[in-house]
Amino acid sequence: AGPDGANGTPGPELLKNAQAGLVGSVLDLVGVTNINQAQTAALQSRLHIPLIFSLDVIHGYQTVFPAPLAEASSWDPAAITKDESVSASEATADGIKWTFNPMVDIARDPRWGRIEEGAGEDPYLGSAVAAAKVLGYQGGDYSKPDKMASTVKHFAAYGAVEAGREYNTVDMSTQRLFNDYLPPYKAAVKAGAATVMSSFNSLNGVPASANPLLLRTILRQMWGFDGTVVSDYQAIQELVEFGYATDEKEAASLALNAGLDIEMGVNVPSINSTYTNFGPALVKSGKVSITQVDSEVRHVLRLKYLAGMFDHPFTDPSRVQHEELTSTNLAAARSTAAESLVLLRNQNKALPLA
Angle, in degrees to the nearest 10, between helices 290-306 and 274-285: 140
Whole-angstrom distance, CA of residue 28 vs CA of residue 2:
6
CA atoms within 13 A on the CB side of 183: 15
Catalytic site positions: 232
Diameter over CA atoms, the chain: 75
Beta carbons of 349 and 84 less than 8 angstroms apart: no
